[in-house]
């Protein structure tokens, strides 16, 4: 049982690192939420609602699980509880999330989100900062394992239904139309499904 749980965790981590064609725009519309009992709640049609300690109007295409991680590390650094953290604390947040930009890279990112050099950022700007960091590169073995998870009916290809179900499990609030758009971009032969070769080729191109 322990081995199975470890395998499922490893598979989930691999899926979390995928960068699929067209996914950058999926679920990237402005988010509408509201405050309820001290939490900013974003209603989800599929799965549990996203509940945060900070208001956010644009998730920049991140999964709910990622947004939750961002909120956690931001809150750790928000010592005064005023919803703002200093540039120094942004660095610490990045460290906790496993990001290690060079001083030059960090300065460029901060200049983009804080052009007037106020020296502090709110949670929405912090999420925007996180959008500057690419996910780790995937190996072909990892892609093979990920494809097997996507291919729930073991047909050797992925259709739009499988794509939507899997992305929703990963935390993407994706509609059937968006799932079709993601699929269409990777479907070179217009078969309505994505084969293993199409899957690998498109993801490697988007890394």
Each residue's pLDDT tens digit, 83-99? 999 999 999 999 888 88
pLDDT band at 58 (very low <50, low <70, confident <90, very high): confident
pLDDT of residue 38: 84
**Which are the contacts of 106, defined by CB distance < 8 A and separation ≥ 6?**
91, 94
Q: Answer with the residue of higher pLDDT: 10 or 122.
A: 122
User: What mean pLDDT is predicted for residues 150-174?
Assistant: 74
The 10s digit of each residue's pLDDT in 189-202 is 888 888 878 777 76
Is the confidence at residue 111, as pLDDT, over 60?
yes
- 3-class SS at 84? strand
Is this model's pTM higher than 0.75 or not? no
Q: For the residues 40-60, what does the mean pLDDT come to? A: 79
pLDDT band of residue 149 (cuts 50, 70, 90) is confident
Residue 51 forms beta bridges with which residues?
41
Reduce the DSSP state of residue 196 to 3 states and report it. helix
Tell me the average pLDDT across 147-164. Answer: 80
**CA dihedral defined by 141, 145, 147, 149, rounded to 10 degrees?**
-170
Token pair, residue 161, equals 């239904």
Query: For the residues 158-170, what does the mean pLDDT come to?
Result: 73
Q: Is 98 exposed, middle or buried (0-12, 13-18, 19+ CB in 10 A)?
A: exposed
Kindly list the structural domains of the chain, giving each domain's residue range(s) and its CATH number in brackets, ordered by start.
2-25+136-205 (1.10.238.10), 53-130 (1.10.238.10)
Residues 6+ apart with CB under 8 A from 77: 85, 89, 90, 92, 93
Residue 82 has pLDDT above 80, yes or no: yes
Crossing angle of helices 64-77 and 123-130, in 10° steps, is: 120
Q: What is the pLDDT of residue 169?
A: 63
Strand pairing of 39-42 and 50-52? Answer: antiparallel
User: Directed axis angle between helix 64-77 and helix 87-96, to 10°?
Assistant: 130
Q: Which range (15-29, 34-48, 60-74, 171-185) has the least confidence?
A: 15-29
pLDDT band at 1 (very low <50, low <70, confident <90, very high): very low
pLDDT at position 140 is 66
Stretch 94-107: mean pLDDT = 89
């Amino acid at each position: 049982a322990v081995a199975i749980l470890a395998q499922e965790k490893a598979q989930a981590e691999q899926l979390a690192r995928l960068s699929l064609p067209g996914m950058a725009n999926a679920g990237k519309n402005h988010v509408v939420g509201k405050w309820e009992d001290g939490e900013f709640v974003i209603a989800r049609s599929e799965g549990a609602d996203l509940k945060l300690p900070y208001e956010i109007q644009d998730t920049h295409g991140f999964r709910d699980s990622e947004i939750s991680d961002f909120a956690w590390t931001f809150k750790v650094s928000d010592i005064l509880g005023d919803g703002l953290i200093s540039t120094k604390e942004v660095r610490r947040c990045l460290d906790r999330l496993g990001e290690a930009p060079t001083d030059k890279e960090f300065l460029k990112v901060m200049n983009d989100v804080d052009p007037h050099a106020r020296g502090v950022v709110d949670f929405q700007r912090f999420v925007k900062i996180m959008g500057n960091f690419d996910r780790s590169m995937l190996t072909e073995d990892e892609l093979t394992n990920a494809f097997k998870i996507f291919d729930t009916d073991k047909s050797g290809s992925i259709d739009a239904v499988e794509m939507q179900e899997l992305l929703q499990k990963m935390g993407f609030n994706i509609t059937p139309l968006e799932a079709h758009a993601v699929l269409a971009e990777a479907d070179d032969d217009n078969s309505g499904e994505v084969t293993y070769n199409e899957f690998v080729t498109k993801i490697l191109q988007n890394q």
